Amino acid sequence: MSRVLLLFAHPALEKSRMHRRMLHYARQVQGVTINDLYEEYPDFDVDVKREQDLLAAHDVVVVQHPIYWYSSPAMVKQWEDLVLEHGWAYGSGGTALHGKGWVAAVTTGGRVAAYRPEGHNRFTLREFLAPMEQTARLCGMRWVTPYVVYGTHLLAADEIEQRAAAYGGALAAIRDGRVDLAAADPWGVGAAALTTEGAP
């Protein structure tokens, strides 16, 4: 079994139907450690040692957040800037995270069609997440196909529940080793079980 650390970042959780339900199902998965960054660090004063100890104690890191302005909420960047130190996470002697998995679990307000070259947002979600993918790779981590829920603003309550429950199932699959992190095909069809689209 893999030890899974869920880094959660949402600055307005009370307004999010999707992330509230995703967290609900994540909490049902035994063996998953949930680290709510906005709750833990309301003043953005990240405890670097605490976060590094958590990373060292887990095998897979799941970073869950909504897509804000084509990126992550500010707390995720703050966490990356402070915690992923040179000489610890990367660079000379920085091997603490080598071989661990990194899974982005993100939601978008727009439909999947908006995240295409010909779509409203002009770029694919992979292009928007490229800095996170490269961060993981620089740290020697295995970038696994993201878990994506598109079109959250358009989903009915039962669709939100379905996708949130599927997220809980994906976390359990990662924990139980039913997702081969070494063989996962980033953004390929082989990882479709980890990805769910919103309204077409």
Examine residue 128 and state whether it is found in any structural domain, yes or no: yes
pLDDT band for position 180 (cuts 50, 70, 90): low
pLDDT band for position 187 (cuts 50, 70, 90): very low
pLDDT digits (tens, 9 = 90+) for 32-52: 999 999 999 999 999 999 999
Examine residue 52 and state whether it is found in any structural domain, yes or no: yes
The pLDDT of 95-100, averaged and rounded, is: 96
Domain of 25, CATH number, reads 3.40.50.360
Examine residue 199 and state whether it is found in any structural domain, yes or no: no
- pLDDT of 106 strictly over 70: yes
pLDDT of residue 140: 95
Examine residue 77 and state whether it is found in any structural domain, yes or no: yes
Examine residue 82 and state whether it is found in any structural domain, yes or no: yes
Residue 194's CB: how many other CB atoms inside 10 A? 22
Which range has the worst mean pLDDT, 6-10, 59-63, 70-74, 184-188? Answer: 184-188
pLDDT digits (tens, 9 = 90+) for 109-136: 888 889 889 999 899 998 999 999 999 9
Q: What is the pTM of this model?
A: 0.88
pLDDT of residue 181: 63
Examine residue 172 and state whether it is found in any structural domain, yes or no: yes
- pLDDT of 16 strictly over 60: yes
Query: Which residues span the domain enclosing 186?
Result: 4-194
Examine residue 123 and state whether it is found in any structural domain, yes or no: yes
Examine residue 200 and state whether it is found in any structural domain, yes or no: no
**Domain count for the chain:** 1
